Structure 1
Amino acid sequence: MLLHRQPEFSVIDAPSILGLRPTGVELLPKALRVAGLLEQLKADYAGMVAPTSAYNYKRDDGTGMLNPQAIKDYTLKLAEAVNGELRKNKFPIVIGGDCSILIGNILALRRLGRYGLFFIDGHSDYYLPEESSTGEVADMDLAIVSGHGPDILCDLDHLKPLVMEQDIVVFGYRDSAQSAQYGCQDIKNTTMINAIEFVDVQRLGFQNAASLGIETLLKNELSGFWIHLDADVLNDSIMPAVDYRLPGGITFSELSNLLKLLLLSKKAVGISVAILNPTLDKDGSIIRNFVSCIAEGLS
């Protein structure tokens, strides 16, 4: 299936908080629509995939995760919706919700062949359950899609890993010191993941760092790649509306430029957007700026 083409966008709402907490990120799809995302991108609305299970605050005894079975059920539903849009030759924009939505998006592509992942996030999201202080799958999504963690989420459809480590670029994360304190694996030095930390972006310069990441991914024999965007990759001074804040980060203009470069590769096939919490944006200005940034980057 040829999926890399000039995109015709379709938006899927994925307001799941099963991998985080019900703090407000579930309101993001509506907030982005109200701010004009669909109109600015001339995108179709493909509907909502809503969780059918209630949030459970107790960690699962077998896996150490919160809500593993509910997330599995949700992931399978979301993957079907994404596959449906891809079959229509659309470019899905999947709006969370928390970062556990990534699993369904990557499963959808894994069913089709070998695809990569360009992961834009302020956090590496590479915790194993025993390393996570919370059990939140939004801490673990990158580890899960690359095959590390309990099989209830890692081995969906018996397709583990959903994406190979060498087919992943992680861009802009800045939580290495924090992760090390919890004993989380250092993705840069102990995996085959292509890791570009925020400090690397500063050292290389944004354009060079972005080009390096994209060129690295394009060297592999991929049918295409998925983009995952966590709003907390943006500088904390312009994106404080997230539940786990970190100092530093990239600018709106840098993010728009990165998205443009990714689409110019003609290999990007879809994007997920997560974590921005509208309840932390008191006047709506952060949402409006974020929508303008995404629309500029994808146009």
Structure 2
Amino acid sequence: MKKRISIVGAPMDLGQLRRGVDMGPSAIRYAGVIERLEQIGYEVHDMGDIQIGRPKLVTDPKTGLRNLEAVVTANKKLAEKVDNIMRRGDFPLVLGGDHSIAIGTLAGVSKYFNSLGVIWYDAHGDLNTAETSPSGNIHGMPLAASLGLGENELTEIGGYFPKVKFENIVIIGARALDPGEKQLIKEKGIKVYTMHEIDRLGMTRVMEETISYLKERTDGVHLSLDLDALDPLFAPGVGTPVVGGIDYRESNLAMEMLAEAEIITSAEFVEVNPILDERNKTGILAVDLMGALFGERLL
């Protein structure tokens, strides 16, 4: 990986209903992410947070999506920040914030690659559109938007679409998929490792297959890690916890294997909600996983 990391916070809580996830970047910083990465040997530049403010919470009358205009505005700002990081040649590390911020991250990253791969480490598919979403929450739509599906305001952030191809995605940890997402996965042949596959194959094989699959077809890989991919026992401070998730040791191993493979070119860690957390347990976990991803070893 590049030895210079630029961190940007995206304190967004507009893509869903539960407040508090806007404090996620602060919780991760408080858990010592900058010091941890510097100890590993990286030069870390903290660019602060994008400014989101407190816009009025509204439901778009045409689409039924919550806070569409505000989410679009925030993601445009994030895309510009990430674009600047990529132009400087640094590794972009984005701290969330709800998962809708992935729209902006991928808009800032994807154009620097001919065929970007994405590892979506998440309990959810985030493949909904206005037509399939049960809630209208945009944090359930960022992967769909990055594929060019959904409202133009979301898909065209950054001035181009799609940001990623269906065949360049691997979803890991899925265990809560909506009917429309299941149909899309089957129709497009999206590669998914549900908790069934993780339990049956083991995390080592899942990651070996993921790394091999993406190395064959991509020239860079973005890691989008939602802390709700982990079981709530390990990550209680998330907005949409789903029982039966990945455990701490499996996740640490996954990050270590990605570090060894040297395929990750950008990353975001999202959905840390300190209001719902236990003494910043989830923020500390996020930093632990970042340490493993960036090459930290016990010996």
**Is the pair's TM-score, using the shorter chain for normalization, greater than 0.5?**
yes
d(CA) in 1 for partners of 2:182, 2:155: 17
Q: Are the aligned partners of 2:269 and 2:286 in contact in 1 as well (CA < 8 Å)?
A: no
Deviation at 1:295, TM superposition (A): 1.6
Structure 1 residue corresponding to 2:294, chosen from 281, 291, 298: 298
- Match for residue 100 of structure 1? 100
Deviation at 1:171, TM superposition (A): 0.8
State the TM-score, normalized to the length of structure 1. Answer: 0.90
d(CA) in 1 for partners of 2:56, 2:119: 29
Q: Partner amino acid for 1:101?
A: I
Alignment of 1:254-293 (within 5 A): 254-293=250-289
d(CA) in 1 for partners of 2:256, 2:88: 23
Secondary structure of the structure 1 residue equivalent to 2:24: helix
Task: Report how many aligned residue pairs link the two structures.
Answer: 289
- Match for residue 47 of structure 2? 46
- Match for residue 197 of structure 2? 200
Alignment of 1:202-241 (within 5 A): 202-220=199-217, 222-241=218-237
Structure 2, unmatched stretches of 5+, are 39-43
- Match for residue 176 of structure 2? 175
- Match for residue 144 of structure 2? 143
Deviation at 1:141, TM superposition (A): 1.1
The alpha-carbon distance between structure 1 residues 155 and 286, as it changes in their structure 2 partners (threshold 3 A), is closer
Query: Segments of 4+ in structure 1 off by > 4 A?
Result: none
Q: Partner amino acid for 1:34?
A: Y
Q: Are the aligned partners of 2:237 and 2:278 in contact in 1 as well (CA < 8 Å)?
A: no
The alpha-carbon distance between structure 1 residues 159 and 239, as it changes in their structure 2 partners (threshold 3 A), is same
- Match for residue 118 of structure 1? 119
Q: Percent identity?
A: 27
Deviation at 1:235, TM superposition (A): 1.4
d(CA) in 2 for partners of 1:53, 1:289: 28
Q: Are the aligned partners of 2:167 and 2:191 in contact in 1 as well (CA < 8 Å)?
A: yes
Q: Partner amino acid for 1:277?
A: N
Alignment of 1:83-98 (within 5 A): 83-98=83-98
Q: Partner amino acid for 1:164?
A: K
Deviation at 1:283, TM superposition (A): 2.4
- Match for residue 41 of structure 2? none
Q: Are the aligned partners of 1:12 and 1:46 in contact in 2 as well (CA < 8 Å)?
A: yes
Q: Are the aligned partners of 1:6 and 1:266 in contact in 2 as well (CA < 8 Å)?
A: no
Alignment of 1:239-254 (within 5 A): 239-254=235-250
Structure 1, unmatched stretches of 5+, are none
- Match for residue 186 of structure 2? 189
The alpha-carbon distance between structure 1 residues 159 and 51, as it changes in their structure 2 partners (threshold 3 A), is same
d(CA) in 2 for partners of 1:284, 1:14: 18
d(CA) in 1 for partners of 2:141, 2:235: 22
Secondary structure of the structure 2 residue equivalent to 1:219: helix
Query: Root-mean-square deviation (CA), in Å?
Result: 1.8
Structure 2 residue corresponding to 1:32, chosen from 28, 31, 47: 28
- Match for residue 160 of structure 1? 161
State the TM-score, normalized to the length of structure 2. Answer: 0.90
Q: Are the aligned partners of 2:109 and 2:266 in contact in 1 as well (CA < 8 Å)?
A: no
Deviation at 1:7, TM superposition (A): 3.7
d(CA) in 2 for partners of 1:296, 1:266: 12
d(CA) in 1 for partners of 2:244, 2:70: 34
Deviation at 1:110, TM superposition (A): 2.6
d(CA) in 2 for partners of 1:26, 1:283: 17
